[in-house]
């Protein structure tokens, strides 16, 4: 019987298929080379996380040592986000000019200089100069890490790999909190300087290690280096067939004929980034306009949730809730960083299984509930003249629930989604616009928190954040289609008509997207 299964069917002339031929295709193994590249590129994001986390504790001691006001503290804490706008805008053009990999190296060099200046600061003005330099470096790293990771990742695990920058931001925040606790035992004038200056060490290591990585295959194609791009794609794809398909799609998006097989070809000047801003802002197609709105919207609402206020001012929030001991406030802040990191690690395994939309909407729902409950607890405490243990416990639990809800969806998906939806030629500049909105919103939120809670109470502030989270849920529901399983080159078909069907599985049909975001 077994021999007969392999014989040709006499009536149909077709070979009979064994039972195993009807089994579902096996899930490809995780590409270790692509994983290593994504890890290394994403590690650069740890610098932003560390800077945010360490400043939450360091500013307690900076205020005592430099004798500065709450307004100056607000500016010091949030101004890095505004400075990073310069880096995020410059990184888009720089990455099209010198490549994604060397742009990551530039970000590390700039941050190293900024961390050194902050560590040796002798006064507030000197500290602000260091903050400016570090902010530019952060802007570079924030923009380029998710772009590089998205461009090097196979579609099967792109969500998993592109969430790594957020993983390392959270890891950096936790390291910053731990640094606060460890160096808080030193003399005041020395402790905060070491907290800030020690961030220069990992930038040196990462800047050297990044040189080991290959260049992005999409950037190589944009430069006409098809041979080099094919080599990288062969290493970062699940199969040789997938590598060929990815190369063909990228060539089409870059305007290179499909039958062109030369290792080096001449490309038009438009492939080097010229006229991109006109296509993005002045004369966008409906699909590009929709992509841009989705990108800017998700970055805006991510920061409007108040996450940076919680990360930067956790010690103050715990003080308002009733914790008075400095060491206990710092320990509770470490717990925030731990929960945030564990949650983001959980999210990385769900992005490519559940999808972007369900995870994002569930995350925002959890954020709304926890923010409203936290606001209620803080309001009760604020109107009470004695310690309320139950309200304190409620505030701590809800604060942890908020950061967990944020990190399991809103945090990583913002970076994943915005880095994968732009057409190839618009990706670097489009992503830099999203990062700019992210940092601008974060700067406004973090620089207004103290003044805001003094004006409308701390409970009222978190009720405001809860209302903004509700608005974000509505925006995401109507504006963001599902992108799970799509290649970067066929994203254009999802955007532009506002009448999407959200398929659970990608159809096995070849869909071609043009370089400007339209699909044929």
pLDDT digits (tens, 9 = 90+) for 13-26: 444 544 444 444 45
**Residue 264 in 3-state DSSP?**
strand
What is the rounded distance in angstroms from the CA atom of residue 217 to the CA atom of residue 212? 15
- The pLDDT-based confidence of 29 (bands split at 50, 70, 90) is low
DSSP 8-class letter at 15: B
- List, for residues 43-72, the tens digit of each pLDDT value: 888 887 888 888 888 888 888 888 888 888
Q: What backbone phi and psi angles, to 5 degrees, belong to 38? A: -65, -40
What is the rounded distance in angstroms from the CA atom of residue 515 to the CA atom of residue 150? 17
| Tokens at 329, concatenated | 């406030």
What's residue 418's pLDDT?
85
| Tokens at 240, concatenated | 């040789």
| Tokens at 69, concatenated | 């006001």
What's residue 497's pLDDT?
65
Helix ranges (DSSP H) in 355-426 = 356-382, 389-405, 411-420
What is the rounded distance in angstroms from the CA atom of residue 277 to the CA atom of residue 284? 9
Q: What burial letters (b/e) apply to 457-487, b meaning 16+ CB within 10 Å?
A: bbbbbbbbbbebbeebbebbeeebbbbbbbb
- Model pTM? 0.70
Strand partners, 225: 264
More confident residue, 353 or 159: 353
**Residue 8 in 3-state DSSP?**
strand
- pLDDT of residue 498 exceeding 60, the answer is no
Length of the chain in residues, anyone?
Answer: 520
What's residue 274's pLDDT?
54
């Amino acid at each position: 019987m077994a021999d007969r299964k392999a014989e040709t069917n006499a009536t149909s002339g077709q070979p009979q298929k064994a039972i195993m031929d009807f089994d579902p295709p096996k899930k490809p193994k995780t590409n270790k080379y692509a994983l290593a590249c994504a890890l290394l590129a994403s590690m650069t994001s740890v610098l932003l996380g560390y800077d945010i986390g360490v400043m939450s504790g360091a500013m307690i001691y900076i205020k005592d040592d430099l004798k500065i006001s709450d307004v100056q503290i607000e500016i010091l804490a949030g101004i890095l986000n505004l400075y990073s706008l310069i880096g995020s805008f410059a990184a888009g053009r720089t990455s099209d000019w010198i490549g994604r990999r060397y742009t990551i190296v530039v970000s590390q060099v700039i941050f190293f200089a900024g961390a050194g200046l902050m560590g040796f600061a002798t006064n507030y003005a000197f500290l602000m100069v260091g903050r400016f330099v570090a902010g530019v470096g952060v802007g570079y790293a924030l923009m380029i890490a998710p772009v590089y990771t998205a461009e090097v990742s196979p579609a099967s695990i792109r969500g998993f790999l592109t969430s790594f920058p957020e993983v390392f931001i959270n890891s950096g925040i936790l390291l910053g909190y731990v640094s606060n606790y460890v160096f808080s035992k030193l003399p005041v004038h020395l402790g905060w300087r070491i907290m800030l200056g020690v961030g220069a060490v990992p930038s040196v290591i990462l800047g050297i290690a990044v040189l080991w990585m290959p260049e992005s295959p999409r950037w190589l194609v944009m430069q006409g280096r098809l041979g080099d791009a094919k080599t990288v794609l062969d290493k970062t794809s699940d199969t040789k067939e997938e590598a060929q398909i990815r190369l063909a799609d990228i060539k089409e998006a870059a305007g290179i004929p499909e039958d062109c097989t030369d290792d080096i070809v001449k490309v038009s000047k438009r492939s080097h980034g010229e006229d991109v801003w006109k296509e993005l802002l002045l004369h966008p197609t409906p699909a590009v306009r929709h992509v841009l709105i989705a990108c800017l919207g998700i970055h805006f609402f991510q920061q409007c949730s108040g996450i940076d206020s919680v990360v930067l001012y956790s010690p103050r929030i715990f003080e308002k809730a009733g914790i008075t001991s400095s060491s206990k406030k710092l320990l509770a802040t470490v717990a925030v960083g731990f929960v945030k990191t564990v949650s983001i690690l959980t999210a990385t395994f769900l992005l490519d299984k559940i999808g972007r939309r369900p995870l994002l909407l569930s995350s925002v729902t959890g954020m709304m509930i926890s923010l409203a409950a936290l606001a209620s607890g803080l309001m009760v405490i604020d109107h009470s003249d004695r310690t309320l243990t139950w309200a304190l416990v409620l505030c701590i639990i809800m604060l942890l629930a908020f950061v967990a809800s944020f990190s399991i969806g809103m945090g990583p998906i913002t970076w994943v989604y915005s880095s994968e939806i732009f057409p190839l030629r618009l990706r670097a500049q489009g992503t830099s616009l999203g990062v700019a909105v992210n940092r601008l919103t974060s700067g406004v939120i973090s620089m207004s928190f103290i003044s805001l809670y003094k004006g409308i109470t701390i409970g009222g502030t978190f009720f405001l954040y809860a209302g903004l989270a509700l608005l974000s849920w509505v925006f995401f529901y109507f504006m963001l289609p599902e992108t799970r399983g799509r290649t970067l080159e066929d994203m254009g078909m999802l955007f532009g008509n506002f009448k999407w069907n959200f398929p659970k599985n990608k159809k096995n049909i070849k869909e071609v997207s043009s370089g400007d975001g339209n699909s044929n």
